[in-house]
Amino acid sequence: MRRLTVEQHLEAAPPLVRKSMLENRGELEPGAAAVVGRFFSIVGARREPVAAPSAQSFRDAAKSEPTFRTLLRALAKYAPTVSTAGAITVKAEWVAKRPKPTPRAKDRKSSPGTIDVRTWPATWQAYYVGLETASIAPSSLRQYRAAINRCAQLVNAGIATDELNFLTAHRLAETFPGSRRRMKKQKGELRGRTIANYVGALVVLGRYGGADPDALDGVRFVRDHLLDVADAGDKLKYARIADIVEKGGFEFVAAEIGKLRTAAKDLPDHSSEKVTALQSAALCAVSMNKPARTGDASLWRIGEDIVREVDGSWRLAWIQEKTDHETEAGVLWPEVGEILDELILGGRPDRFIHLRYRELVGKNWMTLDDHPMGRRWPSAMVKQAIGIPSQDLRTLAADYLRLHDPETAADVISAHLGHKTKAAGEEYRSVSEGDAAARSWSHMRDEIKKQASR
């Protein structure tokens, strides 16, 4: 069979692409002309827009991963106006087909498996029946079960008895790694608030299970003491927020979002770096507009929780997993809407936005497929982008609202952060009321000073 020339391979390619490749024929990778020509032939046969080919065209053009990679590199270099965003799913398919290395026996680790309540002390198993039937959110029940399981392991090891009293709680708290206060936590140590949550789970277990109320007060005392110590000793959060405020607060966050968007524009559409930049920009922007809990943000779906209207505006409303209470942002800021458009387009031309949105209805807003990332993933992405986790943006937003108008800040903060009850935002309310009192006293002092000078 006669071998085709470069010109013959590229007959189906757009004129500018063909011209660029022919001018640089000496630099072409082996097989580049053949796979590029085949790719554009397939795109033409499928009557797809050259600017935004589908995943199937990439799939049909390359029957091996090396050929597929050659195609992507050639398009990025010689056809920059052709979006390779459709190749992202195909790239994932090729990666999944790679042979998995067999781990050595000594490197194999057994999976943790599910929690077996039957391994708990008998009294705790009986208490758990009451907890399991209580009106508690499934996510909270899972957290309680995991925390109680940690405590049960120590009881089974003989660290403490199964009685839910002060002595048991104290011994468990002292045994958990990280119970000793240090300026810097060592590897594997738990934070004080985490230990307090473990002990707090025993309070919930006893409360719903019918444990002795007087003895349970001793467990509450230990939990409250641990929380007080955590509040007094854990300054990391406030140090992080102070650092962001010093850099400019939300102005700094907005500037970092701008850098992410600029970086994304300069990267090939199929690159994981571009996907990450677009995801990070969208997460940070939405968190500025309406800071959500990271678990909630990981689950939003396009067309259900986060919706694009016909006029191009975006709306956000969802049921919070923690409170089972609906909260909403209403219409998101126009700048945030632009960033969300960029996220779902992935580098495709703007004119494809309506088509792309319809394709993604029902998909996870971050992964753009049926499967969400882990619950903590959004917070980790925000931290990687701007240096603080997404939870700190909630606190930063509360600080802005409090400083703007402390008299009304408590209720506004509660609504903005999605608190179901006043108790949930008690810390913010206390600080806001203190600021309001200070502002009132300052005003009164000025009035007294004016009267005294008359």
Residue 108 within a domain: no
Burial class (CB in 10 A: 0-12, 13-18, 19+), 431: middle
Residue 146 and residue 192 share a domain: yes
Residue 109 within a domain: no
CA 90 to chain centroid, in Å, comes to 24
How high is the pLDDT of residue 390? 83
Phi, psi for 261 (deg, rounded to 5): -65, -40
Reported as a single tens digit per residue, the pLDDT across 108-160 is 544 445 789 999 999 999 999 999 999 898 989 999 999 999 999 999 999 99
Phi, psi for 314 (deg, rounded to 5): -115, 140
Residue 267 and residue 337 share a domain: yes
How high is the pLDDT of residue 182? 40
Give the C-alpha separation, 334 to 329, whole Å: 13
Residue 362 and residue 306 share a domain: yes
Residue 423 within a domain: yes
Residue 87 and residue 166 share a domain: no
Please say which residue of 203, 234, 265 terminates a domain: 234
Residue 265 and residue 380 share a domain: yes
Reported as a single tens digit per residue, the pLDDT across 281-339 is 999 999 988 888 899 999 999 999 999 999 999 999 999 887 788 888 889 999 999 99
| Mean pLDDT of the region 372-390 | 89
Residue 353 and residue 260 share a domain: yes
Please give the tally of structural domains in the chain: 4
How high is the pLDDT of residue 27? 93
Residue 347 within a domain: yes
pLDDT above 70 covers what percent of the chain? 81
The H helix count followed by the E strand count for the chain is: 21, 3
Residue 88 and residue 164 share a domain: no
Max CA-CA distance within the chain? 108
Please say which residue of 234, 264, 295 terminates a domain: 234
Residue 271 and residue 209 share a domain: no
CATH code, domain with 299: 1.10.443
Contact by Cβ (8 Å): 119, 156: yes
Residue 239 within a domain: no
Instruction: Give the number of C-alpha atoms closer than 13 A to the C-alpha of residue 165, restricted to the C-beta side.
Output: 8
Residue 314 within a domain: yes
Residue 376 and residue 265 share a domain: yes
Tell me the pTM.
0.67
Per-residue DSSP letters for 339-385?
HHHHHHHTTS-GGGHHHHHHHHTTSBTTTSSS----TTHHHHHHHHH
Q: Which residues contact 395 (CB under 8 A, 6 or more apart)?
A: 237, 241
Phi, psi for 292 (deg, rounded to 5): -110, 160
Residue 363 and residue 276 share a domain: yes
Residue 139 within a domain: yes
Reported as a single tens digit per residue, the pLDDT across 352-366 is 999 999 999 999 999
How high is the pLDDT of residue 402? 57
Please say which residue of 181, 203, 234 terminates a domain: 234
Could you report how far apart the first and last alpha carbons of the chain are, in Å?
A: 108
Phi, psi for 88 (deg, rounded to 5): -60, -45
| Mean pLDDT of the region 392-421 | 60
Residue 18 and residue 130 share a domain: no
Report the chain's mean pLDDT, rounded to a whole number: 84
CA 144 to chain centroid, in Å, comes to 22
Which residue do the tokens 């992080």 mark?
A: 240
Residue 158 within a domain: yes
Give the C-alpha separation, 429 to 439, whole Å: 15
Residue 188 and residue 73 share a domain: no
Domain range for 304 is 248-395
Reported as a single tens digit per residue, the pLDDT across 169-206 is 999 999 987 545 443 444 557 888 899 999 999 999 99
